[in-house]
Amino acid sequence: MNDTITYMLAVPGICCDRCESAVRRILEALPGVHRAHVSVAAGRAVVDADPVRVTAALLATALGAAGYPARLERL
């Protein structure tokens, strides 16, 4: 069984509840993502994922492609 890693991403483009939900759906649709918690107030997403299948770069790329530029804050 694979371990789970928690990524913390800054997502400054989220500004409302609709954006928050969209970012969560985008992240949770990626294979290997177990859970995503997104906070519009904090401007960040916390993602629990399988580190073998998901990298911070993959998360940031998926969000950027949807119009939500993101960067890794920390693991």
pLDDT at res. 17: 93
Whether the CB-CB separation of 56 and 30 falls below 8 Å is answered with no
pLDDT digit string (tens) for the chain, length 75 residues: 468 999 999 999 899 999 999 999 999 999 999 999 999 999 999 999 999 999 999 999 999 999 999 999 976
- For residue 52, give every residue at least 6 positions away whose Cβ sits within 8 Å of its Cβ, in sequence order, or none: 2, 32
Domains of the chain listed by start with CATH number: 5-74 (3.30.70.100)
Say what the pTM is.
Answer: 0.91
- Give the model's pLDDT for residue 2: 63
Rounded-to-integer distance, Cα 43 and Cα 5, Å: 20
